[in-house]
Structure 1
Amino acid sequence: MDQEKIGAFITERRKQAGLTQAALGEQLGITDRAVSKWERGKSMPDPSLMLPLCGLLHITVNELLTGERISMEDYQKKAEEKLLELQKQEALNNRRLLWLEVVIGLLSTAAALVMIFAASFAVTLFWWRVGLIAAGVVIYAAGIVVAVRLEHDAGYYECPHCHARYVPTMRAVVFSPHIGRSRKMKCPRCGQRGYHRKILTR
C-alpha cells in the first residue's frame, strides 16, 4: 500500500472538494495535523474514518486505498488486487504475532528455569530461594498468558468438518487440548468437535 500516493490523492480530492485541512478535520472530528499526516504519507486514516472521509471526498474506499480514481471497467480488477494485497498484509501481521508468541514463550521459560536453577544451586538462604522460585513461576505464568493471547489474536481457526474459519473465545483457546497450534474445540457453525488448525487469513 503506497501511503505517499494515497496522501497525494487525498490532497487532490480535498482541494477539489473546496476543503482546507482544518475544515476536513473538523467534519471528521480530528485535528488538521492528523489530516496533514495522511497527506504527507506519514499515516493512514483509521478504518472507522474511511467511509466518512470517502463521502466528503466523493470517492470510494477502494479508490482511497488505491490512491487513484478507478473507471467502472477497472473497478472489479482493482478491487480484487486490493483484496489480495490486504490478505497478504493480514497474513504477514498474523505471522509476526505468532513469531512473537514463540519468542515470548521461550524467553519466559528460559528466565524461569534460570531462576529455579539459581534457587536450587547458587543460593543458600532459604528466603532467597523461595523468592527466586516464586519470581520464576510468575514470569513463566505471565509469559504463557501473553503467548496464548497472541495465538488467540493472530488469524483464525478452521473447522476440519465444515471448514468454517472463525475466532474462538479466549476461554475456548485456554481450556482446549492442543497439538502445536491445532486445538480441539467445538465449531460454532456445525457444532462438531475436532482439532481446528490455525489459519492466517479468512
Structure 2
Amino acid sequence: MWPAALTRLLKRRLVYIVFISLIFTYLLVKLVNQKHHLRLLKIKDFSVQRTKPLIWRTLQEHLLTDEPSNRTNPPDIICRNSLQGKELLVDDRGFVCNREHILQNGCCNVESPETLYYTCETCNNSSHCCSIYEYCVSCCLHPEKRPLLELALQAVNGRQLTVFAQVLDQFELCLVKCRTNSHSVEHENRYRDGKVQYCYGPTEAHESQKEVLGIAA
C-alpha cells in the first residue's frame, strides 16, 4: 500500500513544482518586460545629466596673441588633439596646424606661421557648419561659443544623449558635435549644404533620420 501512497505524494509534489515554476517564469518575464519598458522611457525622456559640471574654456585662461611671432610653446604642458586628421590636427587649446607641426607633447607648434588659432575658416556663421572638421572644432572651442553650445546640448535627443552626457569639457564636446553625423545630414549621404559638413551649433535631424536616431517626433 505504501508504494501507492508514495506515488500520490510524488505526483502532488510534481504538480506543486510545476505550478511554482510557472508562477516564477511569469514573474520573471513580467520583470524583464517592465525593465525594458522603463529603459525605453528613459531613452525617450532622458535629459543630459553628469556627475561633474562640464568644463568650459575662458578667455582669461586661454586667449593668446594672434601673431605667431609673439607666441612661444610652453614646455610644461601636454595637449590632446583630434588624432585622425590626415593633414590637419586641432589641439585642445583651439590651435589648428599641419600634422608635421604637432609637437611631442601633442600640442600644435604655435610659433609656426601656418598654425591658426580659434579659426572659423570654411564655417558658415548662419548655419554654424564648416567644410573642414578641424576648423569646426577650433571655431567651436572659442569661449564665446559657449551660449551656442549650451543651446546645442538642449536640442540633443534620442540615443545621442548618452554620448553628450559623457563629455568632460568643451574640447570633447566640440570633437563630438563637429563629427559628421545624421544631425548634419539631410538624407543618407546628402548634406544640408554641399560645402559645409561639420556643425557645432544646434541642428535638426531630417525626418528620414529621426527613427534611426531614436528621436521622438
TM-score strictly above 0.5: no
Which structure has the larger Rg?
A: 2
TM-score by length of 1: 0.27
TM-score (norm 2): 0.25
> Normalized per residue, which structure has more helix?
1
